[in-house]
Structure 1
Amino acid sequence: MSDIQVMALVGSLRAASVNRQLAELAAEHAPDGVTVTIYDGLGDLPFYNEDLDTADAPASVVAVRAAAAAADAVLVFTPEYNGSIPGVLKNAIDWLSRPFGMGALKGKPLGVVGYAHGQYGGVWAHDETRKSFGIAGSQVVESIKLSIPGTAFDGKHPRESAEVVESVRAAVDTLVASVADPVG
């Protein structure tokens, strides 16, 4: 399989976010023929409002939907905020799930990974994110499970951990395999 486009969504808007660093690792270590592109416009999306969801939807909504439609798969990198999904990510799910039953991610393979400060690495947020994207129509790849706890880096960049680099690479490989074999 070649020329696979993976959209990376990062649930933290902070420039130095560890989840963003993990997404950058995915882009840097993607296999040949795979491009991982970090979508940078989540912070520009207005709160979901059905009154705005018209033929004249805001440009930021049109852009995220177009990027999602152009992707073959999506890899979500999310922290855990108060035991759940960051608001910016939930808002993106709401926009991408419309129009109901025909959203931009309908049927597309999607994986959820990430880092969070707690000892469980954001497991609750990852589970909630999988659930929400699944309800929104994505084909959630349940075998992709990478929850990195806050103690993993000791202040170092994630690329300094060969284990983390390999785990992120494996998540991308699994997601790409699901594009090639969506049933398997």
Structure 2
Amino acid sequence: MATYKIGYFVGSLAKASINRTLSHALIRLAPEKLEFTEIPIGDLPLYSQDYDADFPPEGQALQEGIAAAEGILFVSPEYNRSIPGALKNAIDWESRPWGTNSFARKPTGIIGASPGNIGTAVMQSSMRAVLSFLDAPQLNAPPSYCAVGAVQAEGAGTPLQVAPAQRPGNNRSTTTRPDNRTAMCVLFRQRPHAPAQAAGAFLVTRLFKESRALERQHS
């Protein structure tokens, strides 16, 4: 069976990041034909145009990671209603030098987890503006916003699960039904429900399909 490479960024540098845990959950839910590789951003210096003439090894490794991927997944928190600085710094690195934009025509998807009720919605809006400028095709539907619950009840070694969120007072989930263009999911660490059509699984599957469609268009 052929496999297809998806590179993914985790927008948080925290060792116990809930978004890193979310990325692991998404990989478990993804189709077997997808091969995931994290593209690390923690060792990058702050971008400066002074580096353009001679990229350091960290910048070159970032370029190579994006070039090797057939699709890119961003798994990121929201900081102050916007993109985390470390992630934005990595994006700035790979849009340079001028004329060598690594993200051009690279299918991209965005998902994120946050303790807040809006679950990274504003960060994702900011990211879409940046990716549009970088000519990166995006999976705009369904937007996948994840809120975090029951973190205080985490048990040692209990894996994070991904499942559809429930609207208060409503037994219907807000997941990826064809007639619902917003995919909400909740992360929790005890008494997990079945993942069903978890928003993240839908997103990474769509990312794979978009990558294949783009390849056919340019073959």
* Fold match (TM-score > 0.5): yes
Alpha-carbon deviations, 1:82-138, whole Å to 9, x = none? 111100011011011123343112101001101112210010001111211221221
Counterpart-to-counterpart distance in 1, 2:127 and 2:137: 12
RMSD: 2.1
Instruction: Name 1:33's counterpart in structure 2.
Output: 33
**Distance in 2 separating the partners of 1:144 and 1:36:** 21
- Could you tell me the TM-score, scaled by structure 2's length? 0.75
* 8 A contact 1:72–1:108 mirrored in 2: yes
- Any conservation in 2 of the 1:144–1:174 contact (CA below 8 Å)? no
1:121 and 2:122 correspond? no
In the alignment, structure 1 residue 89 sits paired with structure 2 residue 87:
yes
Look up the match of 2:204.
Answer: 172
1:63, distance to aligned residue in structure 2 (A): 0.2
Give distance in 2, aligned partners of 1:53 and 1:152. 45
CA displacement 1:129-172 (0-9 Å, x = unmatched): 12112212211221241111233766546733443552211111
Distance 1:28 1:89, change over 3 A: same
Question: Following the alignment from structure 1 to structure 2, what is the Cα–Cα distance between the partners of residues 43 and 106?
Answer: 23
Structure 1 residue matching 2:141: 3-state secondary structure = strand
- Scaled by the length of structure 1, the TM-score of the pair is 0.89
Matched residue SS, 1:37: strand
Rounded to whole Å, the distance in 1 between the matches of 2:159 and 2:63 is: 30
In 2, are the aligned partners of 1:108 and 1:138 still within 8 Å (CA)?
A: yes
Corresponding letter in the other structure for 1:108: K
Do the aligned partners of residues 84 and 158 (structure 1) sit closer, same or farther apart at CA in structure 2, a change above 3 Å counting? Answer: farther
Match of 2:161 in 1: 160
Distance 2:151 2:36 in 1: 23
Unaligned regions of 5+ residues in structure 2, if any? Answer: 165-184, 186-194
Where structure 1 has 5 or more consecutive residues not aligned to the other structure, the ranges are: none
Shift of 1:2: 3.3
CA shift in 2, pair 1:181/1:153, >3 Å: farther
Matched position secondary structure for 2:207: helix
Contact 1:18-1:158 within 8 A present in 2 as well: no
- State the distance in 1 between where 2:98 and 2:73 align: 22
For residue 139 of structure 1, give the secondary structure of its aligned residue in structure 2: coil
CA contact (8 A) 2:25 2:162 kept: no
Bigger mean CA deviation after superposition, 58-67 or 136-145: 136-145
Q: Which has the higher helix share?
A: 1
1:42 aligns with 2:74: no
